[in-house]
Structure 1
Amino acid sequence: MANILLERTAPLPLDEAWRRITRWPRHGEAVPLTVVRVVPPGPTREGTLVVARSGAGPLAFDDPMEVTVWRPPEGGAVGMCRLEKRGRVVLGWAELEVRPGPGGRTRVVWREEIRVRFVPSLFDGVVRRSSRYVFGRALNRLLRQP
């Protein structure tokens, strides 16, 4: 398993940072060769399935993730979402968190444990570096664009 940790400070209120990082279809716009859909459509809650379809042609695969924790920030409290990866190719979990940061800004933390089935642990370093790069760029884009 490869573990990644991404942290950003954004000049946004908590609720706006939360909204930007949990609008799931926008993740597909920020990650190359990926389209994201939500089942059922509508407001996210525990039990919602977020399905990222990644790849091209016959090499495409679904990465279904179930929302197991959904705590939006309310009244200045920390917001946290946990997704459990339920796919045949990608396993693990991801946590997205927003918390008050310095100077009225918001601190965003993205933690992820990822394992790609059929890829030996020998390649965990490659998975870690590539995931940090792709998800880091995605997080930057999600926070920058309203």
Structure 2
Amino acid sequence: MALIRVERQSRLSVEEAWRRLTDWQRHAAHAPLTTIIVTTPPPTGPGTRFVARTGAGCFGFDDPMEVVRWEPPSGGRPGHCTLAKRGSVITGWAEIEVRLHARGSQVVWLEDLRVAKLPRLFDTPTAWSGRLFFGRAVAGLLSEQARDVI
């Protein structure tokens, strides 16, 4: 599995950063050729499921995910969310942590993913490209304007 770690600081409050990062459908705006459909009713919590569909036309794949840990930030306590990837193409998990930082908030996105039928020798390039992809996605989710991300 490829381990990916992305850290970003933002001027946003912890609560606003959390809201943006856990608005699942909003992620599609930062992932090329991807749509996201939440398949369970709101509000988000353990058991919430959604599918990221990446591709064009008949060429593509689904990345179904389920929220298995949901602890929004509260009373100065950081927020934690864990997603389990339940697909046949992409498996693994992702963890999102949002905590107070001197200038706003700090986000740590940790993801461990495996691409089906891809030999382990590709773990290093997968992790490298994943850091680029998720780094851009997190920065985009946190920023409607460039000044929001430090």
Same fold (TM over 0.5): yes
In structure 2, what residue type is equivalent to 1:7?
E
In structure 2, what residue type is equivalent to 1:143?
L
Tell me, in whole angstroms, the C-alpha distance in 2 between the residues paired with 1:63 and 1:102: 35
The DSSP-based 3-state class of the residue aligned with 1:128 is helix
Q: Deviations over 1:96-122 (max 9, x none)?
A: 11011124x101000000100010011
Q: Aligned pair 1:140/2:145, yes or no?
A: no
Q: How many pairs align?
A: 145
The Cα RMSD (Å) is: 1.1
Structure 1 spans left out of the alignment, 5+ residues: none
The DSSP-based 3-state class of the residue aligned with 2:9 is strand
Q: TM-score w.r.t. structure 2 length?
A: 0.93
The DSSP-based 3-state class of the residue aligned with 1:96 is strand
Q: Which residue is 1:14 aligned to? A: 14
Q: Which residue is 2:148 aligned to? A: none
In structure 2, what residue type is equivalent to 1:8?
R
Q: TM-score w.r.t. structure 1 length?
A: 0.95
The DSSP-based 3-state class of the residue aligned with 1:111 is strand
Alignment of 1:99-114 (within 5 A): 99-103=99-103, 105-114=104-113
Tell me, in whole angstroms, the C-alpha distance in 2 between the residues paired with 1:134 and 1:109: 14
Moved over 2 A (4+): none
Counting aligned pairs with the same residue, the percent is 51
